[in-house]
Amino acid sequence: MKNLQSTKTLNNGVNMPGFGLGVFQVEDGEELIEAVKTAIHIGYRSIDTASIYGNEEGVGRGIQLGLKETGLRREDLFITSKVWNADLGYESTLKAYEDSLKKLQLDYLDLYLIHWPVEGTYKEAWRALETLYREGKVKAIGVSNFQPHHLDELLKHAHITPAINQVEFHPKLTQNTLHTYLKTHGIQMEAWSPLMQGELLQHPLIEELAKTYSKTPAQIILRWDVQQDVITIPKSTKPHRLKENADIFDFVLSDVDMERISDLNENKRIGPDPDNFDF
Ligand SMILES: NC(=O)c1ccc[n+]([C@@H]2O[C@H](COP(=O)([O-])OP(=O)(O)OC[C@H]3O[C@@H](n4cnc5c(N)ncnc54)[C@H](OP(=O)(O)O)[C@@H]3O)[C@@H](O)[C@H]2O)c1
Q: What is the mean pLDDT of the chain?
A: 98
Query: Which 8-state DSSP code applies to residue 238?
Result: -
Of all protein residues, whose CA lies closest to atom 13 belonging to ligand 1?
A: 193
Per-residue pLDDT at 251: 98
53 catalytically annotated: yes
Tens digit of each residue's pLDDT (9 = 90 or more) over 131-158: 999 999 999 999 999 999 999 999 999 9
Phi, psi of 154 (to 5 degrees): -60, -45
Per-residue pLDDT at 57: 98
> 121: part of which helix (H) or strand (E)?
none
Q: What is the pTM of this model?
A: 0.98
Which mutation among 24, 164, 230 tests ligand 1's pocket best, with the greatest number of atoms within 8 A of CB?
Answer: 24
DSSP letters, 38-73, are HHHHHT--EEE--GGGT-HHHHHHHHHHHHHHH---
Task: Band the pLDDT of 220: cuts 50, 70, 90.
Answer: very high
Q: How many CB atoms lie within 10 A of CB 227?
A: 16
Q: Cα 67 to chain center, whole Å? A: 21
146 and 88 Cβ atoms separated by less than 8 Å: no
* pLDDT-above-90 percentage for the chain: 99
Q: Is 2 exposed, middle or buried (0-12, 13-18, 19+ CB in 10 A)?
A: exposed
Tens digit of each residue's pLDDT (9 = 90 or more) over 33-48: 999 999 999 999 999 9
Of all protein residues, whose CA lies closest to atom 22 belonging to ligand 1?
A: 197
- The CA–CA distances, whole Å, from 256 to 71, 92, 209, 218 equal 43, 48, 11, 19
